[in-house]
Amino acid sequence: MHTELSSRSTTKLRTQLERAEHELGNLRFQALGLTRMDALLANELASVYLGLREKYRGVWVDQVNFCSTISDLDGGTLACATSTSLNTPTLHHLAFEVGSVDVREILNHLHQSSDQFDAKVIASAKQEARTLGPRAGRRDLASHGAIDISECFSHPRCYGTLQTYWEIRNYNSDIKGQPLRLVENMVSEAAFVMIHEFGHLVETAVLSQGEEAYALMLEALEDGLLRDENGRWLVKDKELREAGLTRRDARLANYPAYSNIKRGEGAKRKAVRDVAGAPIGYALGSYARRYRDELIAEAFALAITAKDPELRARLAPFRQVLVDVGIARTRR
């Protein structure tokens, strides 16, 4: 699949991008917000997205809003990826059980067959449906999720302020010998954010392949980020003992993630980030050490775009795992 996307008409661009996805069988895909953007930026982000979809055919995205209003995102959020299986797990499961990806058809089926479903399941499905918002009827509940990019990138002053801010943070971190906020890469800030958010849905897609596939992905990332070229752990047992941690705590399977946050474990999470997260931060940037979810998304983006060939080489096995588990194609 190859589409020469328009760099002049955002209306044509939207039609082209949606048609490309529909040809892949993704019939509910919607490209939102493109007509509110500068044509060149819209073309850049649409081209990046299409390139990712051509390579990573196993990642099913039902909606991308390229210019989400700031009020629709949490304060200060530049972009977000919403996982269907994590954010609307009941509806996602029912999409396969009922045999429909349409929220209205699923809710209608629950209503007509209420005696076949637990009351808690029905209540959960209705609650999740309300969180989907006004475009719920167009969503594909069997998909891996949706992506929202802030309108900030479409406003030159806002985008310029963001670029300057990241430059200043990188400069100050470099002087202090601390991990950079944004590791040097070969694409624009907007494009990097798009690839990062797509990386979140790559994680969701791997999760959908089962525990073994997910474990293979984490193992490849551990080898690239937490071991040296001879296979020795970069975080030594002495460092772990001094921080009150075990080797198990330093494994990526147990690294702090949005899905495993527990009350009362704040001190332990901080210790893991300080010790096990140190080599991750220096390799992928300070944002990556916050949560495993961000680590995976940042690793995905840098595996493709990092200027440092050594870093791309360290992350190459991670990219190969995505091929091995059926998420990516070997060639575009």
Last residue within a domain, chosen from 75, 106, 131? 131
Model confidence, pTM: 0.95
227 and 112 within one domain: no
* Structural domains in the chain (count): 2
Smallest CA-to-CA distance from 64 within 80, 77, 78, 75 is with 80
DSSP state of 140: -
Last residue within a domain, chosen from 131, 147, 164? 131
319 and 187 within one domain: yes
Residues 77, 78, 79: CA angle, nearest 5 degrees: 95
d(CA 59, CA 269): 30
Q: Is residue 180 part of a domain?
A: yes
Q: Is residue 111 part of a domain?
A: yes
Q: Is residue 55 part of a domain?
A: no
Smallest CA-to-CA distance from 250 within 263, 261, 264, 240 is with 240
Q: Is residue 242 part of a domain?
A: yes
Taking only the tens place, the pLDDT of each residue in 27-55 is: 999 999 999 999 999 999 999 999 999 99
187 and 125 within one domain: no
191 and 110 within one domain: no
Taking only the tens place, the pLDDT of each residue in 150-200 is: 999 999 999 999 999 999 999 999 999 999 999 999 999 999 999 999 999
Backbone angles phi, psi at 111, to 5 degrees: -65, -45
Domain span including residue 284: 176-324
- Per-residue confidence at 96, pLDDT binned at 50, 70, 90? very high
